[in-house]
């Protein structure tokens, strides 16, 4: 089973502007949408759209949970979260415009986790996780969740024996990489921070592979933003160019990409197929106005357009 864990889910309030957001201007709103927010939730939606069964779980505020759950149901995903009384699902705000520019993302803090909540999560929804399973931890806990509580969570996940796939950043990513992880997807800046030097070129990436060995990361992706991505495993590196598409909202593209890698790994596909699928999913998501999902026909069309090379 694949468990998609979101430690700080959200509702995304998407505001579509007539023009690119400009300070000092009257920025006219032409549309508004409410969608699922949070990274693990998006990975779960993408895997479900690809027909890959998974459990969408985590720890959520109780207020507005029904709205989050109903939005997930629209994609055929059943929400199975621990609900925390006297807390709300956080609201994130995304400002987009039909100008192919990247969106603006404004995120609320969310709920503070505790060891008791972590125990409740494992006892309720991760009890059966074992060495045959994958636990995806996508999205940080709220910033005011202590690193000790996150460590408590992460060690419980490791101790299930499941393969651990992470999309984390900052201190939480750093902590996670003290353990053996199955898949990690830092961006170029995060990877530079992790290896302690500026990673600019593919040569820099090649020379830093020792880091990956040392850190025992089985599969590594380094996202390079508009320049696409690099996929690395033991002794192979492939670079995949980004796709030029009619970007409506790039929020959630990284989550769709992540789901593409997981889908490929669980289906035994090689790195080339994995990179093409992930890149096409991220691009197809960017063509949607909301934060979740993608057009499956468009994804299949884009998949064959992905350019790549062995490094
Ligand atoms: O990756 C997209 C997204 O999940 C948005 O839906 C928005 O909710 C934001 O990222 C949440 O990111 P965070 O790292 O705060 O969990």
Identify which of 40, 139, 140 to mutate to test ligand 1's pocket (most ligand atoms within 8 A of the CB): 139
Residue nearest ligand 1's atom 6 by CA: 37
- Mean pLDDT over the full length of the chain: 94
pLDDT of residue 61: 97
Give strand ranges (E) for 64-125: 79-88, 90-97, 104-107
Q: What is the mean pLDDT of residues 209-219?
A: 75
Beta carbon of 42 within 6 Å of any ligand 1 atom: yes
Q: What is the mean pLDDT of residues 24-31?
A: 96
Ligand 1 centroid to Cα of residue 181, in Å, is 22
Ligand 1 centroid to Cα of residue 167, in Å, is 11
Angle at the Cα of 95 (from 90 to 96), degrees rounded to 5?
A: 135
Ligand 1 centroid to Cα of residue 12, in Å, is 8
Instruction: Kindly indicate the confidence band of residue 212, based on its pLDDT and cuts at 50, 70 and 90.
Output: low
Phi first, then psi, for residue 251 (nearest 5°) are -65, 130
Nearest Cα residue to 30 out of 94, 98, 99, 103: 98
Cβ atoms of 254 and 223 closer than 8 Å: yes
Beta carbon of 38 within 6 Å of any ligand 1 atom: yes
Per the DSSP assignment, residues forming a β-bridge with 93 are: 13, 106
Tens of pLDDT, residue by residue over 142-178, are 999 999 999 999 999 999 999 999 999 999 999 999 9
H or E stretch including 255? helix 253-266
Nearest Cα residue to 255 out of 31, 14, 21, 50: 50
For residues 279 and 240, give the distance between their C-alpha atoms in angstroms, rounded to a whole number: 7
pLDDT of residue 236: 85
Q: How many Cα atoms are found within 13 Å in the side-chain-facing hemisphere of 288?
A: 22
Identify which of 8, 12, 41 to mutate to test ligand 1's pocket (most ligand atoms within 8 A of the CB): 12
By the 10 Å C-beta count (0-12 exposed, 13-18 middle, 19+ buried), 221 is classed as buried
Q: What is the mean pLDDT of residues 113-136?
A: 98
Q: What is the mean pLDDT of residues 238-259?
A: 95
Residue nearest ligand 1's atom 1 by CA: 252
Residue 282, classed as helix, strand or coil, is helix
Of all atoms in ligand 1, which is nearest to the CA of residue 35?
6
SS (H, E, C) 144-157: CCCHHHHHHHHHHH
For residues 311 and 308, give the distance between their C-alpha atoms in angstroms, rounded to a whole number: 9
Of all atoms in ligand 1, which is nearest to the CA of residue 6?
16
Q: What is the pTM of this model?
A: 0.96
Ligand 1 centroid to Cα of residue 246, in Å, is 21
Beta carbon of 251 within 6 Å of any ligand 1 atom: yes
By the 10 Å C-beta count (0-12 exposed, 13-18 middle, 19+ buried), 20 is classed as middle
């Amino acid at each position: 089973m694949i468990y998609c864990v979101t430690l700080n889910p959200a509702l995304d309030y998407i505001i579509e502007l007539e023009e690119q957001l400009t300070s000092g201007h009257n920025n006219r709103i032409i549309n508004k949408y409410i969608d699922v927010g949070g990274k693990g939730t998006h990975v779960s939606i993408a895997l479900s759209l690809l027909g890959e069964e998974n459990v969408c779980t985590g720890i959520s505020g109780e207020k507005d949970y029904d709205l989050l759950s109903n939005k997930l149901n629209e994609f055929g995903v059943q929400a199975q979260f621990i609900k925390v009384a006297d807390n709300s699902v956080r609201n994130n705000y995304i400002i987009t415009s039909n100008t192919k520019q990247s969106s603006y993302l404004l995120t609320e803090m969310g709920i503070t986790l505790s060891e008791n909540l972590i125990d409740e999560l494992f006892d309720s929804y991760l009890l059966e996780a074992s060495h045959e399973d994958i636990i995806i931890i996508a999205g940080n806990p709220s910033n005011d969740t202590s690193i000790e509580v996150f460590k408590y969570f992460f060690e419980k996940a490791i101790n299930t024996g499941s393969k651990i796939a992470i999309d984390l950043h900052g201190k939480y990513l750093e902590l996670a990489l003290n353990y053996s992880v199955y898949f990690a997807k830092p961006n170029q800046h995060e990877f530079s921070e992790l290896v302690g030097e500026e990673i600019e070129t593919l040569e820099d990436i090649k020379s830093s592979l020792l880091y990956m060995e040392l850190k025992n990361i089985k599969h590594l992706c380094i996202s390079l933003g508009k320049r696409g991505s690099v996929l690395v495993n033991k002794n192979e590196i492939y670079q995949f160019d980004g796709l030029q598409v009619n970007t409506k909202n790039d929020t959630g593209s990284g989550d769709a990409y992540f789901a593409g890698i997981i889908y490929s790994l669980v289906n035994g596909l090689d790195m080339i197929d994995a990179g093409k699928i992930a890149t096409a999913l991220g691009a197809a998501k960017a063509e949607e106005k909301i934060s979740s999902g993608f057009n499956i026909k468009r994804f299949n069309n884009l998949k064959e357009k992905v350019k790549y090379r062995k490094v």
